[in-house]
Chains A and B, each alone.
Chain A
Amino acid sequence: MTQIAEPGTKTTTTIVTRVRDRARTMPDAVAMREKDFGIWQEVPWSDYWDKIELVGHALLALGVRPGDRVAIQSENRREWLYTDLATVAVRAMTVGLYPTNPASEVAYLLAHSGSKVLLAEDQEQVDKVLAVLDQLPELERIVYLEPRGIRRRYDNPKLLFWEDLLAMGAEHREAHPRAVEETMSQARADDIMTLVYTSGTTGPPKGAMLSVANVEFSVETLIESGGFTSPPPSTDDIMLSYLPLCHVAERIFTTWFNSSAGVQVNFAESIATVQPNLREIQPTILFGVPRIWEKVLAGVNIKIASASPAKRALARFWLKVADGIGDTLVRTGGKHTPGTRLRYALGYLFLYRALRDRIGMRKVRYAASGAAPIAPDVLKFFMGIGVPMHEVYGMTENSAIATANRPGRVKLGTVGEPHPGVDLRIDEETGEILTRHAGVFAGYWRDEEATAKAVDEQGWLHTGDVGVWVDDTHVRITDRMKDIIITAGGKNVAPSEIENALKVSPYIKEAVVIGDKRPYLTALIGVELETVGEWAQRKRIPYTTYRDLSERPEVDKLVQGIVDDVNKKFATVEQIKKFRMLPKELDHEDGELTATQKVKRSALGKLFDDLVESMYAKGGGA
């Protein structure tokens, strides 16, 4: 290892200096794990810092200068973090791309950000960028991690293998041993650290610039002072990293929790293996998007339904008890009463311990849901079985700092209270939520106009979410401002509430409520292939494809039952009068979903125009 800057020299604290300091104080402790050939390979802090420094040197050797952009398109893995932190070390900006981004979006993101270097995980990602290389004059190097299918087959001079990059770094370190340290010591609080591209449900993605100061404020508020967890995270905490790292939420929970609090990060093998990986890792802190929690809930219901009669009866009984515990917890804000403690202790013996073990949440001390609205019933289920669940709210543009439900003060259906040190108000006219604090982003990359629209002169960030105060302490979000439906009758309806109520059912994967300037509400519904497929098998309904299954009259009846149940909870104007089944599973590649699996409403309305119109046609079928 090279010499390290003298402690005491005043430098700006960044996530990289934090890792460096940790490597000094606890070199042998585990920083992260990744599964390789069936074994969770451990990376100690000393190795972690060594790799960051090495990649930092390599980036310098490649000619990356402060302010340059380094893009990463890869699944979550060690090299993502090495490159991300090395980029920060050399004062460049990290641009995260979703592994699912198709070539056209890769072209847009790389061209718009003007990235100089791209880290592409494997042949799939390399192929995408090679296909659009002529649109990317600023891209100088493509570093690939998996040589399979690339090495000795592709001869593009821009390609560079990861190991060769490390060798370059080692050479550079030999020649200029203190180059990375020196660049790090020049870091300033207003350096832009990363560009986080928003998912873009309506237009092309916009690159939000987060500065070192933004991130430090976020670390201070959310992690060090325990804005989420209580007590604050420590080196004993264990996380599973499985959501895309280019999203600000996963960046917080993986990179920032790891570097600032020393939380051990474990990389899931892929999004498909999250369930088994959760069981192996049994994390103590778990963040999920609504889709994940809905899927776990659906899985539990389906597996209990197909269990042997004795087990089924027992599980149903104790789940009912859990429901009661959940109700009480909702009333008390998440604090146990002697009654719930007793019931929980008994249920723990019979069901909750085993169930939580099976879904990999036996050791979870803090669970959070965010990034999209979720139905309260889903959260209540997890609270009932003993997973302390908290809904949190934030967005890229305010470094994910806005509100959170604090342990012991949970209000279901709200996104919680504003963090200390955060100014949050709700606009009297529009109902829009505005935030102001040190975490408000530095603006959109190369987009002055959008920046001016998002942040006003007084420094208030316009979130685009409509909300109301609950009991003057908690905030409840109604919907995205541009999603609010105004029916032909002039009623304002928040579609996401209805959609999430539908998605509580294990059989429904997608629900899109339609009704803007229409006489009544309708919905496009996509079933969950796995659960409905199993249901059909149990009912002995034959089917071939997703489309065939969706169009079965029995399935239609099943969904009708769910819709009817949901309708009972809503006022007449908010009820779904008709629905149609989506004939295909929505997909990112087909432009129906964003990279974060959010439905692009406008695109969907156009794609399934005939289905929508058939619901409003005079005398159209029920």
Chain B
Amino acid sequence: MTEQRSTSVSTKASRQLWGRPELYTSYGQNLRMLNTRPKQVAVVAMVLLAATYVPFGLPDEWLHLFAMGLAAAIGAIGLNIVTGYAGQVSLGHAFFLAIGAYTASALSGEPGRRTIGFGITFLPLWLLAAGVVAGVAGVIVAPLATRLRGLYLAIVTLGLVFLGLHIFKEWKALTGGPGVGRQGPVPEMFGQRLDRNGDLLTGDQKMYLLTLVLLVIFAVFARNLVRSKVGRAFAAVRDRDIAADVIGVSVTRYKVLAFGISSFYAGCAGALLYAVLGRVEPDSFNLLLSIQFVAMVLIGGAGTISGSIMGALFITMLPRLTQELPTVLPFISSDVTAPLGAANLAIIFYGLMIILFLIFEPRGLFGIWIRIRNYFKAWPFSY
């Protein structure tokens, strides 16, 4: 009888009653990622806007910035998986970004030059390689997390950054050395250089569209991951690893998995980010870069995918915004070295924003959105 029932249900899964969003007649309908009409409309509209108006309506200078923001968003999603979902605070994100960036640069670099190069410029290949190498590094580091928790883990991952910084400075054959650097990954697909102006599109337009497509893919994958069995296991480990162990979640396994996936994302993001920038410099993979990614996660909203994207765009745009400040506020110097200069101001802002968000809106930009949404969802009541 049970068999008969399940077949009769599955054949009618497509039939849904109009105007009754909460009436679930099949699990498929219940599990849909965009489960309500407004969500479907809004997401499709946003993606359409990002794919049409932005690349063709905004100046290239902005597109370049957006492309960086979108690439950073992939990295932020990665950090959010390990920190926001699995609860393992990591300050070592810059290290994994660096591994991705150098793997891709070395693979796509021209052979026979001052720095290592293998001449494999096909983008999907070096992007995948960057992710895999970083992911493997993440898996190697992960056992630390099974021994340490919270602050101790943060300190140890901080050590990774300095370790990496030293290696990259010294390994001149790979990185070109401090102050010099090397060319970033070469984005090429089917004989087309994506970072150079073409007949139809400019380089910035192409890079923007590339990062947009990749971000959508990575974001959808991450969203599906975190609402699957794996995602629930991550959340269980985050909320209390002992309790998770008791209910049958293999803590070691999921911590390793979280680090692996997170580092894979970081590797891909690093490769893309420096493909957009065009040049890799070993000094840039410092603590500040890690802090920037932590800021993206915290300001966007820990434990949310869309929050990571918001946070990444916000943090990437911030230096550009502070650059505009001296024209509005005359007491701020546009001199880079001045104590209250635009460059330092951006750094002060990160700190301030992290502190303010942690105190007033721990759920980040996403939390603000949720608050607004719930206000109207509960209409005309308050709960």
A289-336 interface (Cβ within 8 A of B): 303-304, 306-308, 311, 314-315
Whether the Cβ atoms of A44 and B8 lie closer than 8 Å is: yes
Interface size on A, residues (CB 8 A): 32
Can you list 6 A-B pairs with a CB-CB distance of less than 8 A?
A: A39-B25, A39-B30, A280-B22, A303-B381, A362-B19, A363-B20
B191 at the interface (CB under 8 A from A): no
A358 at the interface (CB under 8 A from B): yes
Whether the Cβ atoms of B20 and A308 lie closer than 8 Å is: no
B26 at the interface (CB under 8 A from A): yes
Q: B58-91 toward A: CB 8 Å interface, digit per residue (1/0)?
A: 0000000000000000000000000000000000
A347-364 interface (Cβ within 8 A of B): 351, 354-355, 358, 362-363
A117 at the interface (CB under 8 A from B): no
Whether the Cβ atoms of B380 and A314 lie closer than 8 Å is: yes
Q: B369-383 toward A: CB 8 Å interface, digit per residue (1/0)?
A: 000000000011111
A21 at the interface (CB under 8 A from B): no
A163 at the interface (CB under 8 A from B): yes
A304 and B381 contact, Cβ closer than 8 Å, known pairs A42-B8, A44-B8: yes
Bound Cα distance A314, B24 (Å): 32
A307 and B381 contact, Cβ closer than 8 Å, known pairs A38-B24, A279-B22: yes
A281 and B20 contact, Cβ closer than 8 Å, known pairs A38-B30, A39-B26, A315-B380: yes
A238 at the interface (CB under 8 A from B): yes
For residue B26, which residue of chain A has the nearest CB? A39
A39 and B380 contact, Cβ closer than 8 Å, known pairs A44-B8, A166-B1: no
Residues of B within 8 A of A238 (CB): 17
Residues of B within 8 A of A44 (CB): 8, 12
B173 at the interface (CB under 8 A from A): no
Closest 6 pairs (CB-CB, A-B)? A307-B382, A303-B381, A280-B22, A354-B379, A315-B380, A40-B25
Partner-A contacts on B (CB < 8 A): 1, 4-5, 8-9, 12, 15, 17, 19-20, 22-27, 30, 379-383
Whether the Cβ atoms of A42 and B9 lie closer than 8 Å is: yes
For residue A279, which residue of chain B has the nearest CB? B22
Whether the Cβ atoms of A41 and B19 lie closer than 8 Å is: no
Partner of B8, one of A47, A279, A315, A354: A47
Bound Cα distance A280, B30 (Å): 13
Residues of B within 8 A of A362 (CB): 19
A41 and B9 contact, Cβ closer than 8 Å, known pairs A166-B1, A315-B380: yes
Whether the Cβ atoms of B17 and A351 lie closer than 8 Å is: no
Bound Cα distance A44, B7 (Å): 12
A77 at the interface (CB under 8 A from B): no
Partner of A40, one of B1, B5, B23, B380: B23
Q: Which of B5, B12, B19, B379 is most buried by chain A, counting CB atoms within 10 A of its CB?
A: B379
Residues of B within 8 A of A33 (CB): 25
For residue A355, which residue of chain B has the nearest CB? B380
Residues of A within 8 A of B15 (CB): 30
Whether the Cβ atoms of A281 and B23 lie closer than 8 Å is: yes
In the complex, what's the smallest C-beta–C-beta distance from B373 to chain A, in angstroms?
14
Residues of B within 8 A of A39 (CB): 9, 24-27, 30
Residues of B within 8 A of A198 (CB): none
A282 at the interface (CB under 8 A from B): yes
Partner of B19, one of A40, A47, A279, A282: A282
Residues of A within 8 A of B381 (CB): 303-304, 306-307, 311, 358
